[in-house]
Amino acid sequence: MADALALGASAARHEGSSPSLPTMKKRHYTWEQFDADTKKIVKLIKKTGKKFDGVWGPPRGGLVSAVMLSHALNIPLLSKPTLNTLIVDDIADTGKTLKTYKGKNFIVTSFYHQQSAVVPDIWIREKKEQWIVFPWEKM
């Protein structure tokens, strides 16, 4: 898990995926889509009535979402998660990055893929077989 965290979710999320990146169809996810989806996530989190001590996202893939949710929910951005931390990532693809938090923390993602070992508590978009290119990634 430490390796996945060091690499970030963006690198770790595609481990073991097939086909390879050059032949895989890309889906570009825009800043506008990200902003709109973050607003949807905030509304859904507020509907749960849950209170968190802060928010944490794995470096790279989850960090941008964690910062956005920290501001929107007025909760601190944490350097390490606790049991009452909101965990956020860009995508639950294989589930390897989020597996540590499954059943312990409330997890939200922008995208969810059916093959993931972790089903987030909240997710907005379903990933099919395309490669998601997030606006903070240079591809």
Could you tell me if residue 84 is inside a domain? Answer: yes
pLDDT of residue 38: 96
Which of 55, 57, 61, 47 shows the shortest CA–CA distance to 9?
61
- pLDDT tens-digit series, residues 4-63: 333 333 334 443 344 455 577 888 888 899 999 999 999 999 999 999 999 999 998 899
Could you tell me if residue 16 is inside a domain? Answer: yes
- What amino acid occupies position 71? H
pLDDT of residue 60: 83
> Residue 74 contacts by C-beta under 8 Å, 6 or more apart in sequence?
none
- Determine the Cα–Cα distance for residues 120 and 126; give it in Å rounded to an integer: 11
pTM for the model: 0.80
- pLDDT tens-digit series, residues 72-108: 999 999 999 999 999 999 989 999 999 999 999 999 9
- H runs (alpha helix) in the chain: 2-7, 9-12, 31-48, 63-73
Please tell me the total count of domains within the chain: 1
Residue 111 lies in domain: 2-133
Could you tell me if residue 44 is inside a domain? Answer: yes
Q: Which CATH number do you get for residue 12?
A: 3.40.50.2020
Could you tell me if residue 56 is inside a domain? Answer: yes
Q: Is the predicted pLDDT of residue 122 greater than 60, yes or no?
A: yes
Could you tell me if residue 139 is inside a domain? Answer: no
Could you tell me if residue 138 is inside a domain? Answer: no
- Determine the Cα–Cα distance for residues 79 and 139; give it in Å rounded to an integer: 28
pLDDT of residue 18: 42
**Confidence category of residue 118, pLDDT binned at 50, 70, 90:** very high
Backbone phi and psi for residue 18, each to the nearest 5 degrees, phi listed first: -135, 150
